[in-house]
């Protein structure tokens, strides 16, 4: 430590560096929806076919980017749970790491456009290996300057053990990628399988351990748990709640702002057209875009309220387990699809026969996004003593209201979906008006929950009195 | 308060709501550079003319959006320095406010395309008035539930005075906009002047007060200061340091990620072209894009390092004064222009005679962005006892190094600019290579500063010995 002070490298808290990394990673994960949303679909084509033909590769790029970036993000969270303080060198190394991660979407674009050429997968693997190496350098640097480490690891006796373990976790993905790079020149399908492994590996290994303990009984796990107690506390607990929130906020924020970009690029009328077609009346020209404005406000309200539900949920979550983190990421992947829903419902409004299909796609996206939020809540309830604030547990004063909040969007989107099947008159206008009205439902909900709770209580006390 | 608990509205910390608002506002402020950067310029045109003709309105939209959003952001910061806790109603009101703010860029696009039609300015003014009204509702709601307020205001006796004052600050802009909306139908130039006033008003009023105290002497100010002591502590101190950092992080993050979008949309070769033109060799097709990759990495490094400088600076800043906030926003406005610089240097590489001009524009943008950062530092040094950590003050152990860090980018960009004037051989490749090499300069800098400090010390002690 004396040496380090001699070198004059000033130690800093990592808070802002992590916030910046979270912002970068969440934006890069989500922004690849733009090429999907901007795909021009000819109005005469049926949406069903064109989705299959045109959008499939782009959606694949979006999903692959999203999942790989979240894996990289999870590794980053782990890494900086071990290294708690930073200095200038670590900050620069982290920025270098971010630079390579933001380049990943391009390699996916190459892969999706040329699936049978090995170069795309080779380039991706090289990037992944470089990221792994930089992170390994960060770990080695951190353990070489122990005052940067987590307090608990700093005082522990087997620092070397920690170091080897964290290196193993960080280099696991890059080694698989390295193999994928080699195989890409001989047998491409194997490379794709290896890359798929990178994404599922953390969850797979967790699942295998879980199965093992179920089959071999509790004893084995307890033994293991005992020897690595403090250790597993830091490394198996994958996600700090603040960083889950920061990452989610980034996704919600970028999705909400991508919408206005489209409005600004597509819905400003051409001055010449206004002069010739609308006799210099700007208002008349703008009234053509009415449905787009409605679509914009409807989509923004949906995104804003889904954020609001997420925010309310995480107010009462005290600890984010690994499964909750996974469900959150799945929810966010669908949230990222909302600009596509906006584009479909505003582009196809009135123009083609695909209106109903567009609304159905929107409903499906909203349904899954909100359903995975609901699943986070259900998972939290399973271990409510560890993961939930007393207010939100069974019988807590906010429990019923939280349930209602989380159930609202799945119900509404399911309802809208069935309405599209039943009513042939259902249009995008009605759909967007529905979206805009929902916030008032939130306020009504609180009153409704309150009344029904009072009713239940009075009925209960009434029946009890009867029994007595 | 008892009533409030009865209603069951759960009080929450506002931390995450503010972080989300900061993310939304910073993205919306910056994202309008995309239409500027995506303007297609014909390779045969001279850049000088086309910049003037094509880009001017779009750049105006970008700058107006950026400045107005920062004004709205500053008002938002003030507001939530008074209201420290939130509940569901406030969260929903805040989201409604954000929705209208994100719609503002569209009204600017209308204004820029149809400067002589009153509708654009009318729409903008209506939005601004609605924002003001929502914020006023937030204030009234907050003062109606005093437990949500700042502790110091909560215990103070003249709450009504605070309420009136904060309402005055918040409604000042909207009232000017309301006037602008009315005048837009009679005399449009006056409306534009009124809108300009909204942006400069806070700084103007500050400047006038400052002049007054300089002319009338210190006594008057002291008197005023005494009567409103705790009050001015909260309302004249405009910006909490965390929110300045969060807003800046958002801008840097979105700028860094906009680059990869362009790469993914423009630089993936067409499969048919590869088959016909490059005989199925993907590598050959990609080698055409070599300069683009170089431009991408060069630009990312520049943005990353400017963030790093900002981060290092704010580590040692203990308080962000109003002037520092203004300088920071000016610096961020130029940072937001970096995607344009990227587009110019990568698009024009080798294709036209405008290469040198493109590099010069990049240098100018980088120079001003880093120069305003330097100005923040100079301003902080003027009141170093209040605004800087002891390490960074004159004679502090990090002072010289911080100076070198902040001076690096202004010097490099100025140097590059003069090189373009002197050398006709200077190309975008060399420019981007320069950008990529700079991080190593950062590491070399620390060693250089250390050596020169040691040299100065030894020379000083040598000369002192001579004197003795």
What tens digit of pLDDT does each residue of A390-404 get?
777 777 777 888 888
pLDDT at A307 over 60: yes
pLDDT at A5 over 60: no
Contact B282 A23 (CB under 8 A): no
Pick among B7, B28, B86, B102 to test the A interface (most A CBs inside 10 A): B102
Contact A31 B261 (CB under 8 A): yes
Q: Chain A closest CA to B66's CA: distance in Å? A: 14
Q: Which of A24, A117, A300 is facing B257, going by the closest CB pair?
A: A24
Contact A264 B98 (CB under 8 A): no
What band does B1 get if pLDDT is binned at 50, 70 and 90?
A: very low
A404 touches chain B (CB under 8 A): no
pLDDT at B468 over 60: yes
Q: Which residues pair with A317 in a beta bridge?
A: A388
Residue closest to B408 by CA, chosen among B382, B386, B383, B440: B440
B16 touches chain A (CB under 8 A): yes
Q: Can you give the pLDDT at residue A261?
A: 80
Pick among B20, B141, B287, B306 to test the A interface (most A CBs inside 10 A): B20
Q: Can you give the pLDDT at residue A375?
A: 93
A311 touches chain B (CB under 8 A): yes
Concatenated DSSP letters for B90-110?
HHHHHHHHHHHHHHHHHHHHH
Contact A88 B250 (CB under 8 A): no
Partners of residue B446 in chain A, C-beta under 8 Å: 8-9, 88
What band does A48 get if pLDDT is binned at 50, 70 and 90?
A: low
Residue of B nearest to A283 (CA): B119
Long-range contacts of A163-172 (CB under 8 A, 24+ apart): A163/A139, A165/A231, A165/A235, A166/A78, A166/A79, A166/A82, A166/A139, A166/A235, A167/A136, A167/A139, A169/A75, A169/A78, A169/A235, A170/A75, A170/A78, A170/A79, A170/A132, A170/A135, A170/A136, A170/A139, A171/A132, A171/A136, A172/A201
Cα A425–Cα A428–Cα A433 angle in degrees, nearest 5: 105
Contact B16 A311 (CB under 8 A): yes
Conformational region of residue B240, where left means phi above 0, alpha means psi within -120 to 50, and beta covers everything else = beta
pLDDT at A218 over 70: no
Q: Which of B10, B110, B252 is facing A398, going by the closest CB pair?
A: B10
Partners of residue B96 in chain A, C-beta under 8 Å: 439
Q: Can you give the pLDDT at residue A181?
A: 85
Residues 6+ apart with CB under 8 A from A394: A381, A384
Q: Which residues pair with B83 in a beta bridge?
A: B149
Residue of A nearest to B436 (CA): A96
Measured distance CA(A118)–CA(A116) in Å, rounded? 6
pLDDT at B338 over 70: yes
Measured distance CA(A157)–CA(A230) in Å, rounded? 12
Q: Can you give the pLDDT at residue A238?
A: 56
What band does A367 get if pLDDT is binned at 50, 70 and 90?
A: very high
A167 touches chain B (CB under 8 A): no
Contact A95 B391 (CB under 8 A): no
A262 touches chain B (CB under 8 A): no
Partners of residue B299 in chain A, C-beta under 8 Å: none
**First-to-last C-alpha distance (Å) of chain A:** 74
pTM exceeds 0.80, yes or no: yes
Residue A27 near residue B26, CB atoms below 8 Å: no
How distant, in Å, are the alpha carbons of A42, A82, A344, A355, B93 from that of A358?
14, 46, 5, 5, 30
> Considering only residues 62 to 101 of chain A, which have any Cβ-Cβ distance to chain B shorter than 8 Å?
88-89, 91-92, 95-96, 98-99
The secondary structure element, H or E, covering residue B239 is: none
Instruction: Provide the 10 A C-beta neighbour count for residue A386.
Output: 10
Q: Can you give the pLDDT at residue A340?
A: 83
Contact A88 B312 (CB under 8 A): yes
Pick among A10, A263, A391, A443 to test the B interface (most B CBs inside 10 A): A10
What band does B287 get if pLDDT is binned at 50, 70 and 90?
A: confident
- Chain centroid to CA B99: how far? 20
Measured distance CA(A238)–CA(A320) in Å, rounded? 8
A256 touches chain B (CB under 8 A): yes
Contact A253 B23 (CB under 8 A): yes
B276 touches chain A (CB under 8 A): no
Q: How many residues does chain A have?
A: 468
Partners of residue A437 in chain B, C-beta under 8 Å: none
**Sign of the torsion angle spanned by Cα atoms B52, B58, B62, B64:** positive
B267 touches chain A (CB under 8 A): yes
DSSP secondary structure code for residue B44 in this structure: T
Residue A125 near residue A181, CB atoms below 8 Å: yes
Q: In percent, how much of chain B has pLDDT > 90? A: 7
pLDDT at B224 over 70: no
Q: Chain B closest CA to A344's CA: distance in Å? A: 20
Residue of A nearest to B249 (CA): A20
Q: Chain B closest CA to A249's CA: distance in Å? A: 6
How large is the average pLDDT for residues A193-202?
78
Q: Chain B closest CA to A421's CA: distance in Å? A: 31
Measured distance CA(A86)–CA(B315) in Å, rounded? 12
What band does A228 get if pLDDT is binned at 50, 70 and 90?
A: very low
B296 touches chain A (CB under 8 A): yes
How large is the average pLDDT for residues B321-338?
88
DSSP secondary structure code for residue A319 in this structure: -
Question: Looking at A79-151, which runs of residues are DSSP E strands?
Answer: 85-86
Q: Chain A closest CA to B272's CA: distance in Å? A: 11
> Considering only residues 23 to 62 of chain B, which have any Cβ-Cβ distance to chain A shorter than 8 Å?
23-24, 27-28, 31-32, 34-35
pLDDT at B229 over 50: no
Partners of residue A446 in chain B, C-beta under 8 Å: 8-9, 88
Q: Chain B closest CA to A110's CA: distance in Å? A: 6
pLDDT at A200 over 80: no
Tokens of B30: 């910056």
What band does A223 get if pLDDT is binned at 50, 70 and 90?
A: very low
Residue of B nearest to A441 (CA): B92
- Chain centroid to CA A29: how far? 8
A339 touches chain B (CB under 8 A): no
Instruction: Provide the 10 A C-beta neighbour count for residue A450.
Output: 14
Q: Which of B27, B245, B256 is facing A16, going by the closest CB pair?
A: B245
Q: Chain A closest CA to B208's CA: distance in Å? A: 36
Tokens of A112: 């999706």
pLDDT at B222 over 50: no
Residues 6+ apart with CB under 8 A from B304: A95, A98, A99, B256
Q: Which of A8, A35, A99 is facing B304, going by the closest CB pair?
A: A99
């Amino acid at each position: 430590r004396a040496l380090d002070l001699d070198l004059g490298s000033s130690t800093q808290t990592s808070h802002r560096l992590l916030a910046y990394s979270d912002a970068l990673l969440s934006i890069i994960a989500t922004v690849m929806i733009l090429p999907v949303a901007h795909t021009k679909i000819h109005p005469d084509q049926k949406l069903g076919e064109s989705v299959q033909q045109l959008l499939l590769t782009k959606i694949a790029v979006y999903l692959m980017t999203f999942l790989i970036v979240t894996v990289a993000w999870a590794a980053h969270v782990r890494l900086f749970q071990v290294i708690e303080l930073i200095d200038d060198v670590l900050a620069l190394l982290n920025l270098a790491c971010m630079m390579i991660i933001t380049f990943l979407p391009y390699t996916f674009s190459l892969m999706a456009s040329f699936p049978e050429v090995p170069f795309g997968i080779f380039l991706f693997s090289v990037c992944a290996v470089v990221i792994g190496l930089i992170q390994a350098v960060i770990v080695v640097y951190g353990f070489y300057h122990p005052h940067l480490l987590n307090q608990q690891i700093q005082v522990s006796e087997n620092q070397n053990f920690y170091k080897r373990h964290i290196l193993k976790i960080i280099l696991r993905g890059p080694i698989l990628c390295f193999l994928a790079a080699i195989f890409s020149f001989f047998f491409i399908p194997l490379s794709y399988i290896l890359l798929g492994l990178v994404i599922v590996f953390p969850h797979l290994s967790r699942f295998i351990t879980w199965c093992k303990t179920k089959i071999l009984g509790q004893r084995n796990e307890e033994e293991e748990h005992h020897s690595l107690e403090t250790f597993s506390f830091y490394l198996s607990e994958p996600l700090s709640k603040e960083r889950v929130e920061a990452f989610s906020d980034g996704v919600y924020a970028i999705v909400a702002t991508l919408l206005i970009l489209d409005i600004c690029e597509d819905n400003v009328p051409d001055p010449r057209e206004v002069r010739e077609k609308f006799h210099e009346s700007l208002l008349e020209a703008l009234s053509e875009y009415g449905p787009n404005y409605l679509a914009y406000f409807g989509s923004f309200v949906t995104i804003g309220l889904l954020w609001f539900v997420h925010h309310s949920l995480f107010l009462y979550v005290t600890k984010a387990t690994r499964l909750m983190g996974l469900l959150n990421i799945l929810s966010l992947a669908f949230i990222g699809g909302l600009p596509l829903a906006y584009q479909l419902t505003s582009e196809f409004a009135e123009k083609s026969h695909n209106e109903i299909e567009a609304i159905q796609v929107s409903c499906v996206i909203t349904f899954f996004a909100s359903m995975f939020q609901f699943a986070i809540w259900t998972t939290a309830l399973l271990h409510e003593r560890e993961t939930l604030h007393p207010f939100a547990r069974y019988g807590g004063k906010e429990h019923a209201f939280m349930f209602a909040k989380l159930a609202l969007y799945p119900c509404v989107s399911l309802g809208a979906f069935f309405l599209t099947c039943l009513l042939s008159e259902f249009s995008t206008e009605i759909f967007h008006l529905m979206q805009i009205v929902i916030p008032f439902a939130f306020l009504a909900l609180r009153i409704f929950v309150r009344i029904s709770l009072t009713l239940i209580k009075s009925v209960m006390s009434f029946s009890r009195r009867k029994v007595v």
